[in-house]
Chains A and B, each alone.
Chain A
Amino acid sequence: MTTEVKESTITVDASGVYYRDLNQRLRDIVTNGTRKIELRNVHGQRYIGTDLNKPVAIEIFGTPGNDLGAFMDKPVITVRGNAQDGLGNTMNDGEIIVHGHAGDTVGLSARGGKIFIRDDVGYRAGIHMKEYRSKKPVIVIGGTAQDFFGEYMAGGTIVLLGRNIAEGQRHRARFIGTGMHGGVIYLHGDVEDYQLGKEVGVAELDEADREVLRQYVSEFAGHFGLDAGEMLKQKFVKLYPRFLRPYGRLYAY
């Protein structure tokens, strides 16, 4: 399947198109120089955006399938709806903006790029995210998260805004940051100690933390037309790894 493309925006009707054929079509479109793509009637096609290593803007109408933006490098994907599991799997660069909620393992093993989810996320968001020098992945979540939030986190930044958590109400997630050994989580809304993994420390934000939070919350607010000032006025705590190598001696003592 080849696609001759000259226009600045290409609209693709994904209705009934098999995911491999859809992704091939996207590769063709991007190779031909188009930098704006609209996908209509998306119903569960997987791996959208996975191997388009160009700064292309993709707007998705419908429900993209699992592993949206997996291994992605540079595209900016906007989802007008909810996303499924494995969003941003091992993503390297680019952005994913979801105007709705996302399923399990958001940003698993991500090593760069930014993910903005307007509402809630499922289990294991940010699991084993990592960073190296300038490559620092970021996830900002507007609502709450389910269990194993930030599990085995090794780097990067996660912000949990808890916009649907009333004052004094707790997040329900358990096992937050279990196995965490790098990166940082900024969290609004209450959590009890038993909800945290034993590798997690809790601290007040310092000025450097506040600056980072301000930047990411402002970007989040910009994407969804919200007031960053209101969100930043609320109380946040910082979750950090107490040990960089919690089990360094487990097999060698």
Chain B
Amino acid sequence: MKDLRNFNNTYNDDKVIDACSIFGAMDTSGGRFSGESVIRAIANMHDRGNGLGGGFAVYGLYPKYADLYAFHIMFLTEKSRQETEAYLQKHFNLVDREEVPTRPTPAIKSPPLVWRYFCEVGQHQLGEKSEADYVVARVMEINTSPNDSFVFSSGKNMAVFKGVGYPEEIAEFFCLEQYRGYIWTAHGRFPTNTVAWWGGAHPFSILDWTVVHNGEISSYGINRRFLEQYGYTCTMQTDTEVIAYAVDLLIRKHNLPLEIAARVMAAPFWEDIQRMGGEEQKLALALRQVYGSLLLNGPFAVIIAHHGEMIGLTDRIRLRPLTVGEKGDMVYLSSEEASIRLVCPDLDRAWIPMGGEPVIGRLKAGAPVAARQKAAAGKAA
């Protein structure tokens, strides 16, 4: 075990500032912007992490292949890459593939192979399943296979870039300043209970859902067991993974509105439910009865994203910070306001949401990216 004090602190005292950092930026008009500002913003919270995990999610970065599933996959060996590639060829129409471009970065030691595959599902491969369910099942098969391959992301026109390092180092390694997207989320990690490895860095993702998280999900065990009954298998050895699968189950599979899903994960207290009347109380009771096992217990501030939406949510008693900035069409979420102000000094509005109440950035009607991704989703349904 590394001595984190020495690892983190070159000033020869015993101060360790420990907390993850989360940051998100969205252009609600659908305009795509470079990762440069997001990298600067998350790097401004460098001291919250300790270099054992950093990552980014980007939406709208592959317009050329907007209708294809973009698999970002990590391989621990060249052999595992060959095996998983054969698997993809068998189960998908593979349209394009390449190693994700990287540049030598001194801080990034012995990185794994990371490749991206653009593919579609053939009608003959689909069978009874919906296309999205088919993709989820294939991701689970790859992640649980013994050949050391892990899917970082599997949505259309989006991608997750992550690894072991400070977020700004991961950004340098993956050349993220060269990509453009209309939603970016970012994470700097301070691992608390679980190992620091490339798969355990945030964001966690399934289809186009991504989650970055500051906190600890102490209900991880019960959440994981519940999700296993619906075909989600946790393989990344980090609590946050359950949130990605929970939102996919609640919002995509069970078709719950986002606001309702938030009340599952950060449910009102029983005493608050007691004070409610009529329909509101019935709904709150039903949610706790049906989805009690998806209540997220423990401290958390998360930024959840998928095409069209970026969502900030904290636990009910806000044991981790989250602050919001708005400027024109831009929405920012961050652990610290300073990071938002660094890249957007003259905010129209800066505010701090109540615990357990979601903050939602939504793509405006008529935004160009929305039109594209809606068409893609329509085909899938």
Bound-state CA distance A227–B47 (Å) is: 41
Measured between beta carbons, the chain B residues less than 8 angstroms from A19 are 47
| Given contacts A103-B323, A122-B318, A146-B318, A82 and B337 within 8 Å (CB-CB) | yes
On chain A, the residues within 8 Å of B17 by CB distance are: 46
- CB-defined contacts of B351 to chain A, threshold 8 Å: 101
Supposing A46-B17, A122-B352, A194-B271 touch, asked if A104 and B321 sit within 8 A by C-beta, the answer is yes
Q: Is the CB of A146 within 8 A of B337?
A: no
B104 shortest CB reach to chain A, Å: 25
Closest CB in chain A relative to B59 CB, distance in Å: 26
B352:A65 contact, CB within 8 angstroms: no
Q: Is A104 a contact partner of B11 (Cβ separation < 8 A)?
A: no
Can you list, as one digit per residue, whether each of B333-368 has a CB less than 8 Å from chain A (1) or not (0)? 000111101100000001110110000000000000
Do the beta carbons of A44 and B321 come within 8 Å of each other?
A: no
Contacts of A89 in B (CB 8 A): none
Contact A44 B352 (CB under 8 A): no
Q: How far, in whole Å, are A20 and B13 apart by their CA atoms in the complex? A: 12
Contact with A along B44-69 (1 / 0, CB 8 A): 11010000000000000000000000
Given contacts A43-B342, A103-B352, contact A148 B317 (CB under 8 A): yes
A72-130 interface (Cβ within 8 A of B):
81-82, 84-85, 101, 103-104, 120, 122-123
In-complex Cβ contact of A120 among B47, B321, B339, B352 (8 A): B352
Given A82-B350, A146-B352, is A104 in contact with B318 using a C-beta cutoff of 8 Å?
yes
Of residues 297 to 354 in B, which have CB atoms within 8 Å of A's CB atoms? 317-318, 321, 323, 336-339, 341-342, 350-352, 354
Q: Could you tell me if A46 and B44 are in contact, using CB atoms closer than 8 angstroms?
A: no
Q: A43-B342, A44-B45, A44-B342 are in contact. Are A84 and B336 (CB under 8 A)?
A: yes
The complex places the Cα of A84 from the Cα of B323 at a distance, in Å, of 9
Q: Known contacts A82-B350, A123-B355; decide if A63 and B318 are in contact (CB<8 Å).
A: no
Contact with B along A200-217 (1 / 0, CB 8 A): 000000000000000000
> Which chain A residue has the least Cβ–Cβ distance from B320?
A104
Q: Does B275 contact A (CB under 8 A)?
A: yes
Residue pair B354, A194 in contact (C-beta under 8 Å)? no
Which residues of chain A come closer than 8 Å to B317, judged between CB atoms? 123, 147-148, 175
Kindly report which residue of chain B lies nearest to residue A63, judged by CB atoms.
B338
Q: Is the CB of B275 within 8 A of A84?
A: no
Q: How far is the CA of A101 from the CA of B337 in the complex (A)?
A: 11
Compute how far the CA of A65 lies from the CA of B354 in the bound complex, rounded to whole angstroms.
21
Q: Which of B11, B336, B341 contacts A66 (CB 8 A)?
A: B336
Distance between Cα atoms of A14 and B202 in the complex (Å): 31
Residue of A nearest to B357 (CB): A172
CA of A54 to CA of B271 in the docked complex: distance in angstroms? 49
Instruction: Mark interface residues in A145-170 (1 if CB within 8 Å of B CB, else 0).
Output: 01110000000000000000000000
A172 to B350, CA, bound (A): 19
* A62 interfacial contact with B, CB 8 Å: yes
**What residues on A are CB-neighbors of B44 within 8 Å?**
43-44
Establish whether residues B337 and A147, one from each chain, have CB atoms under 8 Å apart when the complex forms.
no
Closest residue of B by beta carbon distance from A62: B341
Specify which chain B residues have a CB less than 8 angstroms from the CB of A194 in the assembled complex: 271, 275
A-B contact pairs, 6 of them (CB 8 A): A42-B338, A44-B336, A101-B350, A103-B321, A104-B318, A146-B352
